[in-house]
Structure 1
């Protein structure tokens, strides 16, 4: 089994990501996940990625098609 990335749900994306940058991690581009209600900040390593995932749009995250994923509960 190979794990390509880890994700952590966070409440404070700016502050949390900035702490990792201050620690010395190099940040890559961020993404918004349209229709899913989330966005991220990403930090890549040699063979994996750390994804800081946060709520960008609560209404989208609470939509029926997304509820089945359990994202809102995380």
Structure 2
């Protein structure tokens, strides 16, 4: 088994395209991807109001929690 190191770019669609040297014969290969976590993440621009009407809050949201919530069911 041999190893070679190639530089590649991860696209926004999470793909990597590699071009291997001509001296490598066609066969199966194991691929290990190492990436730098410190790299600037690709972020999508947020749009004001994009989550409007996507969630609802129950009418009982502000109600006091029962004692069993704090002390368990064995009280």
Tell me the TM-score normalized by structure 1.
Answer: 0.22
Tell me the TM-score normalized by structure 2.
Answer: 0.22
The structure with higher relative contact order (CA 8 Å, sep 6+) is 1
- Structure with bigger strand share is 1
